[in-house]
Amino acid sequence: MKHKSMYISTSHLDNSKNLFYKKKPNWIRVKAPTSPGYIKTKSIMKNFNLATVCEEAACPNIGECWNQSHATFMILGRICTRKCTFCNIKTGIPEKLDHNEPKRVADAVVKLGLKHVVITSVDRDDLEDGGSQQFSLCIKEIRKLSPLTTIEILTPDFQRKQKAITIISDSLPDVFNHNLETVPRLYKEIRRGADYDYSLKLLESIKIKNPNVFTKSGLMVGLGEKFKEVCEVMNDMRRHNIDFLTIGQYLQPTIGHQPIARYVSLEEFEEYKNYALKIGFLMVSSSPLTRSSYHADEDFKILKENHKKYLRSVSL
């Protein structure tokens, strides 16, 4: 099977100006992963024949996360049916559904000793349920083998297939995460095939069906968005009852991907965080290296604490 990587023609651009070739700011540079914990996590994932978004998306945090066994599972194969211009995941003809995958995911959760697990997937627009059933089966298997592990799923939009909303909300994850990725003005360029309003609606629908499920969404900055536009997206998220926001710096995986527009300063990340807290998010992670699953374990504990505090404050 031939797999093609996402590639955008950049021949019209003056590449000497492309930030991809310039030295990254200090706050974005990380060390190459070498720790024993990293090697152990890598070998467990390989033995169970499981993919991770950490590797497939070339995440800069892999050394730190894997040293603590925090790998983010990527189910439904390594080939995505969409072509988002920011993403490093391969696109093309997807693999056959692996019916044994949910059990292997649960076995790996046990082996890694995870208290909190994050599961994501490629887009599977070819499947009748968008891949939602495989998420549900993974949750069931993990609940069986590791009942104390809390479960966060980071899903695609299931190509707006309505049955996916029922399947996902019936499967009761602890956190439902779906990334808006960027501001609506840039969707056509960056997130083709997705619909900003539908993504918001999906998050809201899961919350309406199960108010106890925390909802979470993330944005990348440095793609050409304006400060005000990011604040407007945050307002939209709050209007749709999203609890937890992540904001991180976009990093251009290869010269063929969406060019990076700028490195956002640490001060600006702080401003985003302050604004988000002011408008009522229960939890915000905003920093250059923030990714959807970065520190997801610790952040989930804080999220629950903040939720309790909020409930106490409204009952007074």
Kindly state whether residue 65 participates in binding ligand SF4, applying the rule CB under 6 A: yes
Residue located via tokens 């390989």:
46
What DSSP assignment string belongs to 166-197?
A: HHHHHT--SEEE---BS-GGGHHHHSTT--HH
Q: How many residues at the interface with ligand SF4, by CB under 6 A?
A: 11
Least Å distance, CB 70 to ligand SF4, is: 5
Kindly state whether residue 293 participates in binding ligand SF4, applying the rule CB under 6 A: yes
Q: Which region, judged by CB under 6 A, interacts with ligand SF4, from 2-10, 58-66, 98-106, 176-184?
A: 58-66
Least Å distance, CB 200 to ligand SF4, is: 23
Tokens found for residue 310: 């909020």
Residues 6+ apart with CB under 8 A from 198: 157, 160
Spell out a b/e string for 135-148, using b for 16 or more CB atoms within 10 Å of the CB, else e.
bbbbbebbeeebee
Least Å distance, CB 291 to ligand SF4, is: 4
Kindly state whether residue 61 participates in binding ligand SF4, applying the rule CB under 6 A: yes
Single out the residue of 86, 158, 187, 294 in contact with ligand SF4 (rule: CB under 6 A): 294
In angstroms, the CA 257 to CA 263 distance is: 16
Least Å distance, CB 246 to ligand SF4, is: 10
Q: Which region, judged by CB under 6 A, interacts with ligand SF4, from 55-63, 124-132, 158-166, 278-286?
A: 55-63
Q: Which of residues 197-216 bind ligand SF4 (CB under 6 A)?
A: none
Give Cα 130 distance to the centre of its chain: 17
Kindly state whether residue 247 participates in binding ligand SF4, applying the rule CB under 6 A: no
Pure H helices in the chain: 36-47, 53-56, 62-67, 101-112, 132-145, 162-170, 187-190, 196-209, 227-239, 266-278, 296-315
Kindly state whether residue 62 participates in binding ligand SF4, applying the rule CB under 6 A: yes
Closer CB to ligand SF4, residue 135 or residue 196?
135
In angstroms, the CA 75 to CA 180 distance is: 20
Kindly state whether residue 79 participates in binding ligand SF4, applying the rule CB under 6 A: no
The residues binding ligand SF4 (CB under 6 A) are 53-54, 59, 61-62, 65, 70, 72, 291, 293-294
